[in-house]
């Protein structure tokens, strides 16, 4: 019999790429509906998110008592998103933040002592804070925890102040904070500030101060230094996890021209972003598979005495290169953003990976949603096997 209460959802980072997750979840919801699972019931009592995935995770957690309704609202937001809802994208804003920031990077040693206020990031993402305040109802999170529709929500961020990887979790269960190498956890009430911190892509969006044990620490994107992305779900009790990525888990080697051009700033930045958002997840999944295989080879009595336990995982990640999709939609960005990105090579094919994280435009996000739906439906038998007998699961969960 499936123990529905131990099922976790892990949503990873990637800026605008996180729209892909909505398509996957829409397909999963449709498959569960076909299997007889009520549309209002939340199939993921344990929800963990990082970076832009933290925003999606919290939106779902705030609708735990009506999962289908919450997913529809989330899909409407991503389907109609515009860049100016996430960061200031007009010419004046670019002069105030982007151009000044780039100037400080290039000749900052000359300007530093004369500048009254120093730019903290390439973009001003205050519109995102307004959007989150408008669309998230945290009373729904409290209600979901109280009703049992939700067991726990966890959001991760990376502290620039201490250098530690921080997980903030909200639950009514008696779960003690965990301490691991460079990884700490703290029970907290999740807020918009946590989401802004977790999704603060380095250099792109400003760091956010969060309270950690009574002191403020400036935090940025939770994908940085995230050595074990699956870990929070396991600490919160998950025995099986659905992991939705924001980039291909294994890239096919591209053809290399005979005389490759020197990499642009955008190409280097895109490579760094891929390392931050994709590599740690792939490594952690490999580690989890090795642990599961090792445990399966142990005698039952040895497995029972081990602190480790097998965790069933299902990974759904884009089947196409997101940066290549982005090249078809860069023209939909506001002109000031295109000009700025063009200056560092992000509008070229080789530099489009960087642009893909900033492409909060409906033409791009809708294609990602469609890709997510298609990818999940292509593995629908795996999805059905992962969730098992939903009729029994529903009965066991009351």
Q: pLDDT tens across 186-208, in order?
A: 999 999 999 999 999 888 899 99
pLDDT winner (highest mean) among 50-54, 56-60, 304-308: 56-60
Query: What long-range pairs does 169-175 form, CB within 8 A, spacing at least 24?
Result: 169/232, 169/236, 170/141, 170/145, 171/145, 171/236, 172/145, 172/146, 173/236, 173/237, 175/235, 175/236, 175/237
Query: Is 179 in a helix, a strand, or coil?
Result: strand
More confident residue, 278 or 371: 371
Average pLDDT value for residue range 57-62: 98
**165-171 and 179-180 as β-strands: parallel, antiparallel, unpaired?**
unpaired
**Angle of helix 19-34 versus helix 380-387 axis, rounded to 10:** 70
Say how far apart CA 343 and CA 69 lie, in whole Å.
Answer: 42
Q: Which residues of 10-39 are buried (b: 16+ CB within 10 A; e: fewer)?
A: bbbbbbbbbbbbbbbbbbbbbbbeebebee
Average pLDDT (102-113) is: 48
pLDDT per position as a tens digit, 222-257: 887 776 688 899 999 999 999 998 766 555 555 666
Of 32-36, 295-299, 302-306, 321-325, minimum mean pLDDT range:
302-306
Helix axes 362-378, 380-387, angle to 10 degrees: 70
Q: How far apart are CA 198 and CA 170, in angstroms?
A: 15
Alpha carbon distances (Å) from 116 to 32, 107, 119, 202: 56, 16, 10, 23
What does R_g of the chain's alpha carbons equal in angstroms?
A: 21
pLDDT(398) > 50: no
Q: Are 245 and 315 in contact (CB under 8 A)?
A: yes
Query: Which residues have C-beta within 8 Å of that of residue 378, sequence separation ≥ 6?
Result: 319
Q: How far apart are CA 334 and CA 342, in angstroms?
A: 12
Under the banding of pLDDT at 50, 70 and 90, the label for residue 109 is: very low
CA 152 vs CA 6, 46, 69, 137, 168: distances in Å: 11, 5, 19, 16, 11
For residue 230, give the nearest of 244, 213, 249, 210 by alpha carbon.
244
E-only strand ranges, 133-174 = 152-159, 165-171
Residue 332 in this model has a pLDDT that exceeds 90: yes
Task: Find the angle CA(32)-CA(136)-CA(121) to the nearest 5 degrees.
Answer: 115
DSSP helix, strand, coil percent of the chain (3-state; round to 5) = 50, 15, 35
Beta strand pairing status for 46-50 and 183-187? unpaired
Say if residues 43 and 67 touch (Cβ distance below 8 Å). yes
Mean pLDDT of 134-156: 96
Q: What is the pLDDT of residue 47?
A: 98
């Amino acid at each position: 019999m499936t123990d529905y209460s131990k099922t976790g959802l892990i949503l990873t980072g990637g800026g605008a790429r996180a729209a892909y997750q909505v398509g996957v979840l829409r397909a999963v919801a449709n498959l569960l509906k076909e299997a007889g699972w009520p549309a209002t019931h939340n199939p993921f009592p344990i929800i963990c998110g990082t970076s832009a995935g933290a925003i999606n995770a919290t939106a779902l957690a705030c609708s735990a008592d009506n999962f289908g309704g919450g997913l529809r609202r989330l899909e409407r937001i991503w389907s109609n998103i515009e860049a100016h809802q996430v960061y200031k994208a007009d010419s004046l804003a670019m002069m105030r933040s982007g151009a000044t920031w780039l100037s400080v990077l290039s000749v900052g040693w000359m300007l530093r002592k004369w500048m009254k206020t120093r730019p903290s990031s390439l973009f001003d993402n205050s519109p995102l804070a307004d959007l989150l305040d408008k669309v998230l109802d945290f009373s729904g999170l409290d209600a979901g925890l109280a009703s049992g529709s939700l067991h726990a929500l966890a959001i991760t961020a990376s502290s620039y102040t201490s250098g530690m990887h921080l997980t903030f979790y909200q639950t009514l269960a008696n779960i003690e904070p965990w301490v691991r190498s460079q990884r700490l956890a703290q029970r907290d009430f999740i807020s918009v500030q946590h989401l802004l911190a977790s999704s603060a892509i380095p250099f792109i969006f400003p760091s956010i101060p969060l309270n950690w044990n009574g002191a403020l620490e400036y935090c940025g994107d939770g994908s940085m230094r995230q050595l074990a992305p699956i870990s929070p779900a396991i600490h919160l009790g998950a025995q099986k996890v659905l992991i939705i990525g924001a980039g291909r888990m294994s890239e096919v080697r591209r053809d290399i021209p005979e005389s490759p051009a020197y990499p642009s700033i955008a190409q280097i930045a895109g490579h760094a972003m891929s390392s931050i958002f994709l590599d740690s997840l792939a490594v952690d999944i490999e580690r989890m598979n090795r642990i599961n295989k090792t445990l399966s080879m142990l005698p039952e009595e040895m497995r029972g005495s081990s602190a480790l336990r097998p965790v069933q995982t299902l990974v759904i990640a884009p089947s196409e290169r997101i940066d290549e999709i982005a090249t078809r939609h860069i023209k939909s960005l506001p002109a000031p953003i295109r000009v700025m990105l063009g200056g560092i090579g992000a509008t070229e094919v080789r530099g489009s990976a960087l642009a893909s994280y900033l492409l909060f435009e409906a033409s791009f996000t809708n294609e990602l949603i469609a890709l997510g739906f298609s990818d999940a439906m292509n593995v629908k038998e795996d999805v059905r096997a992962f969730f098992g007998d939903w009729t029994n699961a529903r009965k066991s969960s009351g």
